[in-house]
Structures are given as C-alpha cells and as structure tokens.
C-alpha cells in the first residue's frame, strides 16, 4: 500500500519552503534532512525522549516551544513556522556564519559539549528558555532552578550537563531583561 501523499509548505528559519509533496506519515526530522537538506537536527532515540532532535516551533501568539522532530509528523506542521540549529547564527551574503547566537557562543566558551550529538537540541531548548524569559522574567535567585527545569528533558552522554547548564545560566544572568530583582519589593521589576 503506497502511503498517501500530501502537499506541505512551511517557514523554516524564516524562509518559505514548499509546497513539497511528502508521504502523510513522514516525520519532521526526515523532512528536514531529506527534503530540505538541513542535516543539523539529530536522530537520537527516535522516541522523543532524548530531545537531540528538538526544534523550535513558533506559535501564532508569539511564543515558542521545543518540539521533538523525530516523532512529530511533517504534515502536522504544515503552514507553521519552525527554527532549527541552522537558524540561530547571523550569516553573510554567501550563507557563511558571521556571528553565533549568545547561547551558541556560551556553549563554546564553556566547552559545554564533546561529541556534540545532543547540541542542536540543547541550543534550541536553551533558546526557547531565553525567549520565554524575555516575555516573563524570573527573579535572579530562581534562575538556577528555572534552567534545570527547562533543560532537564535534554539528554547528554558526554559532559554531565554541568557546563551546559552553567552556560545557559550565565547567558540569562548577563542578559538584561531576562531576570528581575530577587526581592520585587525593593527593586523595580
């Protein structure tokens, strides 16, 4: 039985893609790698548990969320806007990377990863967290717990997480607007 084919179009890293004909049960990860040639998103567990495949889904209301591309159907994301690890850095006219995002830079500075297999998912999860804090800052003394809770689902097998989490915490604490005073009574928030 040949699977039913559907036509999809979406916005990926700000650029329109499609319409493309795909099998109706094609997963988003395979769509990115085989149809759009964006190979940075990684296939890890294939069950949406390790989040190496995590990509960013931009909702219509301006919020963003992490979505496991390995178990999310491409057809389900028809008409939506997503971002992958390839979409964070600023690029020059020929597509060359000219400037990394603050999260990407922090991961390099902290030597957060070794084999890098999980890194695309960590970059996207941390970026979603930063964007959430832009909308709803947390008290500075809650940053540690906030980072742990937000990044807890991403699995890494090399560095033991500490350098990833420290990098994310440093970006949040050093970026104005992501935190408010620990005592809202004494400081304007």
Partner 1 sequence: MKRLALILAGAAAAVLAVLAVVYLAFTGPGDIPPATVDFDALGDEEHADLVARGRYVARAADCVACHKSEDGLALAGGLPLETPFGTLYGTNVTPSDDHGIGDWSADDLYRAMVWGINPDGSRLYPAMPYASYHHVARADVDALWLYLMAERPVDKPNRPAELTFPFNIRPAIAFWNLLYRPDDPGLAEVAGKSESWHRGRYLVDVLGHCGECHTPRNLAYARTDAHLEGEVIEGALSPDISPEGLVRRGWTPEDLARFMREGLSPQGTMTFRMYPVLEHSSRYLTDADMTAMVTYLFDGAPGDGQRDPALAADAPPRQEADLPPEGRRLYVGLCAGCHGTEGEGHPHASVPLDTNTTAMLDDPLNLVRIIREGVPARTLAGEERMQAMPGFADRLDAAEMAALANYMRVRWGGRPGDVTPEQVEDIAEAHGG
Catalog residues that contact partner 1 under the rule CB under 8 A.
Answer: 3, 24-25, 27, 45, 47-49, 68, 70-73, 75-77
Q: How far is the CB of 49 from partner 1 (least distance, A)?
A: 5
- Shortest gap between Cβ of 57 and partner 1 (angstroms)? 10
- C-alpha 10/C-alpha 82 separation (Å) is 8
3-state SS, 7-76, equals EEEEEECCEEEEEEEEECCCEHHHHHHHHCCCCCCCCCCCCCCCCCCEEEEECCCCCEEEEECCCCECHH
Report the C-alpha gap between 84 and 53 in whole angstroms: 9
CB 103, min distance to partner 1, A: 24
**What's the closest the beta carbon of residue 44 comes to partner 1, in angstroms?**
12
Cα distances from 127 to residues 16, 33, 55, 76, in angstroms, run 22, 21, 10, 23
Q: Which is nearer to partner 1, 40 or 48 (CB)?
A: 48
Sequence-ordered list of residues with C-beta below 8 angstroms from that of 96, at least 6 positions apart, any chain: none
Nearer to partner 1 among residue 36 and residue 106 (C-beta): 36
| Shortest distance (Å) from residue 106 CB to partner 1 | 28
Contacts (Cβ under 8 Å, ≥6 apart) of 28: 55, 67, 69, 70, 72, 73, 74, 76, 77, 82
Query: Measured from the CB atom, is 58 or 170 closer to partner 1?
Result: 58
Nearer to partner 1 by Cβ, of 19 and 184: the residue is 19
CB of 3 to partner 1, least distance (A): 8
Contact 111, 37 (CB under 8 A): no
Q: Is the Cβ of residue 155 or residue 158 nearer to partner 1 in the bound state?
A: 155
**Toward partner 1, which CB reaches closer, 6 or 100?**
6
Which residues have C-beta within 8 Å of that of residue 2, sequence separation ≥ 6?
A: none
């Amino acid at each position: 039985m040949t699977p039913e084919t559907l036509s999809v179009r979406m916005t990926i890293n700000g650029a329109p893609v499609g319409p493309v004909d795909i099998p109706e049960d094609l997963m988003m990860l395979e769509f990115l790698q085989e149809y759009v040639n964006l190979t940075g998103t990684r296939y890890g567990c294939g069950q949406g548990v390790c989040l190496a495949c995590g990509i960013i889904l931009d909702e219509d209301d301006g919020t963003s969320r992490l979505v496991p591309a390995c178990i999310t159907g491409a057809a389900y994301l028809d008409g939506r806007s997503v971002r992958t690890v390839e979409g964070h850095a600023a690029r020059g006219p020929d597509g060359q990377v000219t400037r990394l995002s603050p999260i990407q830079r922090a991961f390099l500075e902290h030597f957060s990863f070794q084999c890098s297999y999980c890194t695309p998912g960590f970059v996207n999860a941390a970026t979603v967290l930063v964007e959430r804090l832009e909308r709803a800052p947390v008290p500075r003394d809650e940053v540690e717990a906030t980072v742990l809770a937000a990044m807890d689902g991403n699995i890494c097998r090399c560095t033991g997480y500490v350098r990833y989490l420290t990098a994310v915490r440093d970006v949040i604490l050093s970026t104005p607007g992501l935190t408010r005073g620990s005592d809202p009574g004494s400081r304007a928030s």
